Amino acid sequence: MNATLTLSHFSAALVFSIFASVVFGITQRETTRDQVRYGFYCFCMFIGGVFVGGWLMWLLRR
Amino acid sequence: MANSTASKPATTSVSILSVIAPAIGWLIPGAGHLIQKKWIRGFLLMASVFILFILGLLMQGHVYKPNGGDILDILGFIGDLGAGGLYIVSLAKDLGQGAIAHASADYGTKFMFVAGLLNFISVADAYHISIGKKQ
């Protein structure tokens, strides 16, 4: 494959979070409403984890 | 007597579906839901796994082969194998065989690995729907 795609760390985490949350939401809950809510919850936790991890690494680096 | 005879074909069809749905869901991500007429779920699962795997290839991610030798390579192979048809096609086309030379390629490798693992979860979900454990 000749085409090369370069994503930053954050954009890669964002893409990963979106699609992993979709699958988690669909597979882990029964009703549509619960699936949407759980998917959104997972997405927030993924992105929140990125920020918390980032700040923790910034503190450790100091 | 009449009831037991009448219920037999239904039981058989459910058991066949409970084998076919996970199998086809593994081979074509999301198809296990589509054959059970779960259209929106099926297409969302298909899009998620396909996009993650293809983005991984575009990012020059590494596709693990069965004969890795190293334990981490074997784990990588198991993860990649979950993507089913996508993994088979990428091996047949000799895609993703370069070294992981930069950070983006490492992200791509993880994308493909996770796409396979997510497909394992969706296969289990297709099975649960086929046996009536989930709607």
Partner B contacted by A2 (CB < 8 A): no
Nearest-angstrom CA–CA distance, B38 and A24: 16
Collect all residues with Cβ–Cβ distance below 8 Å to B135 and sequence separation of at least 6: A30, B129
Q: What is the tens place of the pLDDT at every residue in B28-71? A: 999 999 999 999 999 999 999 999 999 999 999 999 998 867 88
Of residues B29 and B5, more confidently modeled: B29
If you ran DSSP here, which 8-state letter would residue A31 be given? S
Each residue's pLDDT tens digit, A13-50: 999 999 999 999 999 999 999 999 999 999 999 999 99
pLDDT at B100: 82
How far apart are the C-alpha atoms of A34 and A30, rounded to whole Å?
7
Which chain A residue lies closest to B105 (C-alpha atoms)? A6
Q: Which residues contact B23 (CB under 8 A, 6 or more apart)?
A: B32
pLDDT in tens, B83-95: 999 999 999 999 9
ipTM, two decimals: 0.90
Contact A16 B111 (CB under 8 A): yes
CB B112 within 8 A of CB B15: no
